[in-house]
Chain A
């Protein structure tokens, strides 16, 4: 055991490949989150309307993405749906789509919850100065809801980033997949390399997720302080 496991990181292009894998992971998560949040806010607003058919459909949509595990969704969209619809998308696009739809579903629930917890008086005060429905949401309800929901949204984002580790199932070359390639390629030469590879992957995820968690926690604390202070 003359080789120290940490050297596995610096052999050939290993480190670059891991970082590129992380970049792939990050890109998919970022695009999915941006698209998902926008759609989620719109769906969340629609879910506060009193149209029962619309509400039912959106509820089904939410429950679908909540009940079905992400692994199954990825599998469904990558392997099963293309067979039926003859629509072929590369793994990265499927991943982005599935994550965006998932984020949109969860976000719609967060936004809806935040909107209905804005006091009814706020809505009436808005109406009383002549705002129409769009203006009411645009200037009064949504900005207040966003403030209420921000910690929950950030937590959703960290969950999405963590869940990207499932991407290897649909042949996406994400950081976990590349990590596994390197571990297996070096099993004989660096038996302890596995700790270093997964240690680095852990560190990369941590560096992205921890600041987000910290931010969410701080916002929540601030919000409570404000609420108690009033």
Chain B
């Protein structure tokens, strides 16, 4: 019994030691890697003839797979355009929210186009290019009794889901509003339908899609609190691809690419109540 424990302990120490070594080696090798051996530089991508893009496969209408097995969505259209402008083939690598950063850092992909919200913490580990979309908190309420200003919420019940940006914003910035908190999206929408509160706050893009299927409600307040931005992300230090992507987004903005992208991918989900300018950035 004692012997077994000892062997296990030694094994564990061995594992930790080897992982530490690997990580330590990793740090030194990546810091020494100059731009010349960056496998995701524009030059390398062109030479390879393929750009590898991390995308979501299960987040309509941004990155998903339609019934014919084809990848579609707002992010996917952008990915196809980027590959076309680089004149290379496109390879999708499906990721989930938790491994977007790792996919970049381990050189599995060149760029992430997966509804990646810019945050200060993420800026420390990846480089974000210019934003191609914005989201903020919105407030949905019944059409016959709409809430259009924050003042209307004072002393009333507002429905939110725990852990969302909306909950965070109202808790810290709008202390006069009483919050009714739920654990899931399904619960919060049921609560609204049962008139447990006068309105419901969540990410505006999510609300637009919901209102489309529940036409007796309206997103009375479309933007409240600070905007959050969605950007392409590249590996930290990949200046080459970062600069190229920034120029590309600027160019696409001029060509109204994102308006078209919005109209083809997002509009069918959001309905007519939403304007492209609620989601995409000013196109100068």
Which residues from chain A sit less than 8 Å from chain B, CB to CB? 11-14, 16-17, 59-60, 63-64, 67-68, 75-76, 78-84, 88, 168-169, 171, 173, 177-178, 180-188
A-B contact pairs, 30 of them (CB 8 A): A11-B67, A12-B67, A13-B69, A14-B67, A59-B7, A63-B8, A64-B15, A79-B99, A79-B102, A80-B106, A82-B106, A82-B107, A83-B26, A83-B29, A83-B30, A83-B105, A84-B22, A84-B25, A88-B108, A171-B103, A171-B108, A177-B94, A178-B65, A180-B58, A181-B57, A181-B65, A184-B59, A184-B64, A188-B60, A188-B209
- In the complex, whether B150 has a CB less than 8 A from a CB of chain A is no
Interchain CA distance A79-B213 in the complex, whole Å: 40
Contact A83:B107 (CB < 8 A) given known A59-B7, A63-B7, A67-B15 = yes
Q: Are A78 and B108 in contact (CB under 8 A)?
A: yes
Number of A-B residue pairs at CB separation under 8 A: 96
Which residues from chain B sit less than 8 Å from chain A, CB to CB? 7-8, 10-12, 14-15, 19, 22-23, 25-26, 29-30, 57-60, 64-69, 93-96, 99, 102-103, 105-108, 209, 213
Interchain CA distance A82-B10 in the complex, whole Å: 26
Q: Are B105 and A79 in contact (CB under 8 A)?
A: yes
Closest to A11 in B: B67
- Give, as a whole number of angstroms, the nearest-CB distance from B181 to chain A: 23
Q: Are B59 and A79 in contact (CB under 8 A)?
A: no
Instruction: Say which residue of B15, B29, B96, B107 sits within 8 Å of A68 (CB atoms).
Output: B15
Residues of A within 8 A of B11 (CB): 59-60, 63-64, 67
Q: Are A60 and B10 in contact (CB under 8 A)?
A: yes
Contact A79:B106 (CB < 8 A) given known A67-B15, A84-B22, A173-B94 = yes
Instruction: Say which residue of A60, A64, A184 sits within 8 Å of B58 (CB atoms).
Output: A184
Interchain CA distance A17-B96 in the complex, whole Å: 19
Other than the given A67-B12, A181-B58, 10 more pairs (CB < 8 A) read: A78-B106, A78-B108, A81-B22, A83-B106, A168-B96, A171-B94, A177-B94, A185-B64, A186-B67, A188-B213
Q: Are A80 and B22 in contact (CB under 8 A)?
A: yes
